[in-house]
Each structure stands twice: as C-alpha cells, then as structure tokens.
Structure 1
Amino acid sequence: MNGHLHWLVKRGQSQVIVYFDEEMNVFEELPMPEKQQECNDGKRTFCFGLAVLYGCLCISQVPVGTVDKVNDVLIMREYGVQRSWTKLFQPSRTICAPPYQTF
C-alpha cells in the first residue's frame, strides 16, 4: 500500500498500524479506526486482520475463539486520515484463524 509494507502491532492494550518508510528509514504509524483500538475488553481478546481492498487499507476485528460473532470490515478511504475509516460490510459469520509462525 503506497509502496510500504504495513503491520498490525500490539502496544499495551491497543493495536496500531505501522509501516516502514524506506526513503526516510523510519517506522511510521497510521490511525486505527476509533472503535477498533482496544484489543481486550476485559472479557475476551480480539483478532485483527489487515488487508488492502479496492486499493485502500482495510481492517477487521473478530473475538478470538468464536465462529458465530459478527465483525465489521472497515476501509480507510483517505490514506492516513482517521475519520475516513468507513464500514464496508459486516459479515454474518466469521472465523478467526490462529496465528502462524515462519522460520
């Protein structure tokens, strides 16, 4: 996206989107959707997904260990602008796959 690799990173009880700016040789942060910042509501932990749809960054949130909970898929219509996060759709059923490791 915009020539950069993007990651979701946990910071305390929140998630942040970061990317590496090769030209400036620094990590930068992008705003998360306001309601998606919390990773833990005291009862359950959430699994986040980050992707690119229609040329825009998008994010989803699913309670871990559930297969019947709905989640919102939001899209960042204007890159880097928090208020541009817009709900794209809400699936009726989702599954959160366990994390994987690479070596």
Structure 2
Amino acid sequence: MFSQLGDKLQEIFKDLRGHGTISEVNIDAALRQVRLALLEADVDFQVAKEFIARVKEKALGEAVLRSITPGQQIVKIFYDELSILLGGDAAPLDLGKPGR
C-alpha cells in the first residue's frame, strides 16, 4: 500500500518539477491527484481533505525562493505538512523496565 502511494506521489511531483512556473491551475490538478492517491491508500476522507487544504494554502501563499523551482517548493511544502500530519518530531521510544 505504501509503495503504491509513494509511486503515485513521485509521479505527481515529477510532473510538477517539470514546470518553470506553477499556476493555481497546476496546483489544483496536482492536489486533486494527491487527494485521490491518499483516498486509494485508505486515508480518512476528512484527514485527506484537511491535509490538501493546508498544502494548497501554503503553496499559494508562499513566495518561491530563487534557489529552487516552484515544483521543488511544492514538494517541500507537501513534505513539511506530511511530517506534521504524521506526528512531527521523532519521540524516543520508552520500553520501560523489563518485567520479571
């Protein structure tokens, strides 16, 4: 399931990276495909909807850095939001004391 989702996301972002400039239409089309990929991977509809809304808001609201392409900027926003969705920072695993 995760490999299929990863493959679909790579394909979507590969297409975005090919654009020198990205319009709202490009963003909408890519995020529609991302939403479908998430739903096919059994992500809850509400979670997928909120995730896509946050990515779109940031993608339309951020100025593109000169050192990277607009496609790379979208991928970074997506990665950052996905990291937040999955729990953000890594937490240490507390296994407790071994029982006797």
Q: What is the TM-score normalised by the length of structure 2?
A: 0.30
Q: Which one has a larger percent helix, Structure 1 or Structure 2?
A: 2
Rg comparison, structure with higher value: 2
